[in-house]
Amino acid sequence: MKRVLLAAGLLLAGCQAAPGPTAAASCSLPAATVLEQSGDPHGANGRLLQVWEIADDPALWGEGTPVSEGYRDFLSKVVATGIETDPVKLLQASPATGNLKINNDLVVSRAAEWIRPAGCFEKYLVGYQHARIDTFVAPTEFMAMVLRSADGARLRIYFYTINQDGIGRVSPVSEPALADVKQGWRVVLGMHTHAFHPGQPMLDGILAPSIADADFNANFSESGGMQSAWITNGIHTVRIPAEAFGLFRRE
Ligand SMILES: [Zn+2]
């Protein structure tokens, strides 16, 4: 199965210029506008806040393979290491207890509805972060916030990371997004990573919100109108609609 994934990736990469009618189109993003940057981009102190503003591109939301050396390398390492990627098996392997387990179990019960192979957008950003810091050397998180213009034609995509295995306060992303909402933009989705942590089942690519994630989702749905919360590990993504945020334990 994993070999098939890699072969499909190579195949798609080979026909980027003219994907056939049945091939998922490839995607990429242009250079971003850097808002804040400090530290070593490839080191543990590398902080980056940037934004892309682009015309919406349907290829981002398909399942094509991104134009991304970073993603190609990430995928080759997933295959080479032979790690477990089945999102339900990963959730079931977690030793989480209490409310965290309740949240994990909720996603397992809705997996058929909420979990899909990662889309081109998620794969592009995972590749982007993997090129900053190799996932299999030091797993790190990033957060992205996607807003759509009032006329529906344009996207604003914030990207934030501190090159750590967590993102800390999310205000560097949520505050500009709230300012945009006041200007008529809508928060389509907030996405962050739960990277693979081979050998650490509590953290290993877990596609369910942590308690803090669930609390943020509910709060930001209320204050910013966030419509969906996505968590990706680069192979699969859970996409939780705002209507379901209230089902998760928040403390
Ligand atoms: Zn999280």
CA of 206 to the centre of ligand 1 (A): 9
Q: Where are the alpha helices (DSSP H) in 68-119?
A: 69-81, 87-93, 98-109, 111-114
Structure tokens of 65?
A: 């393979």
CA of 151 to the centre of ligand 1 (A): 31
CA of 140 to the centre of ligand 1 (A): 11
Instruction: Note down pLDDT in tens along the chain; length 251 residues.
Output: 434 444 443 333 333 444 444 568 999 999 999 999 999 999 999 999 999 999 999 999 999 999 999 999 999 999 999 999 999 999 999 999 999 999 999 999 999 999 999 999 999 999 999 999 999 999 999 999 999 999 999 999 999 999 999 999 999 999 999 999 999 999 999 999 999 999 999 999 999 999 999 999 999 999 999 999 999 999 999 999 999 999 999 99
Ligand 1 ion: Cβ-proximal residues, 5 Å cutoff = 210, 213
CA of 192 to the centre of ligand 1 (A): 7
CA of 226 to the centre of ligand 1 (A): 16
Reported pTM: 0.90
CA of 79 to the centre of ligand 1 (A): 24
CA of 83 to the centre of ligand 1 (A): 20
Contacts of 185 (CB under 8 A, 6+ apart): 147, 148, 149, 150, 156, 177
Query: How many other C-beta atoms lie within 10 A of the C-beta of residue 36?
Result: 10
CA of 17 to the centre of ligand 1 (A): 36
